[in-house]
Chain A
Amino acid sequence: MSSASRTRILLAAQANKPAETLLPTVPDFGGEATAERFSAVLAGIGGTVVWLDGLGQLGSTLQQLFPEARNTASPLFAGTVPVDAGTPTEVLADIDLAVLTGEIGVAENGAIWLPEANMLHRALPTITQHLALVLDHRRIVATMHQAYAQLPGTGGYGTFVAGPSKTADIEQSLVIGAHGARSLVVLLY
């Protein structure tokens, strides 16, 4: 009985908890909020930064970076595959490249906040073979504290993406491209 267990757990937690202690205030530790730092850290975790001279260059840059991408999905240009929340799995599974807009970049760890609203479909950032995130360099902050402080909320779903999908589960050997995107390019402008 779930509700009986609920009562039991809450009563036990109440009876057994220690005397109340204070919740600390977390300071903003400052730090380096630069595109240079962001790019260096991202390179260290397997991602790549490419500078755009404005969003007008997006199409030609993608053409250069991903000449072989046939199935593309993006809210920023007319991709070959239209994707929305209702797109069937088998269609998503064939996408080579997704180009989405990142909201916040974190210089200390190379992570980029990607909210559901920017994803077209929740599974798109991980099911696509390759992921490109467009990011305004003025939206780079120093640390995760600053990133969370800027988030209006996390929406229904959202993720910090830091580099391509990877694993070291076989003998601690780093392999890029586990289950999610095999590569991550961040297009800074």
Chain B
Amino acid sequence: MGEVIVVTSGKGGVGKTTTTANVGTGLAKLGKKVVLIDTDIGLRNLDVVMGLENRIVYNLVDVIEGNCRIKQALIKDKRLDTLYLLPSAQTKDKSAVNPEQMKKLAEQLKDEFDYIIMDCPAGIEQGFQNAIAGADSALVVTTPEVSAVRDADRIIGLLDANEMKQIHLIVNRLRNQMVKDNNMLSSDDVVEILGVDLIGVVPDDEQIIVSTNNGEPLVGTEALAGQAYMNICRRLLGEEVELLDLNGKKGLFSKIGNLFKKN
């Protein structure tokens, strides 16, 4: 029996789609059978982040309206055999689907997949209600900024009101040097303010942009963000994984510099 996870944030542009792509790909790399569902009807994005935009025939709304069978709409990933994408419709709007229909779809997919991951649209309107309807747990993504944390708090309130059983927090795009200089909220600050369980911290990493450009999620690569996402996947599977050292690899010169600093 599969688990349905919704990736949500309230605020736009904090990394929901990137997180969905990387967590989904990571779980598949760890041997799980995963389907990603883009629930942002009208603003399709997950397909390009996954590099699967040229393979779309049917979409979520086609499945809901019964124009095709679920299997016909699922796109198999380029690299991983156990990873599938159900893309969103680009020409419809959010009202094309309702929460009851999404719940039913999630139930059907649970027989076939270990993880069903819903990429939620920004906002708290119908698109949000659709995305959370069938979910067993939520990954709330925020960045260490006042606006994003405020919206995350609102989302957590709404998830509680909808009796979401489990809520995990991902602090995305953390800049370690700025935190050290006390010019950015730390992940501890964000956890203290929001009062939910932290499942991972993802550093701000240029490689994320490169990976999105290429349509290849970087989870599991040497890049710091890739390691951070893989750690999140392991924690989702119940492993105890220490938080990543965000200082990262340093060149010889800065290592020598550090030696002097200590003395």
The answer to whether A and B interact is no
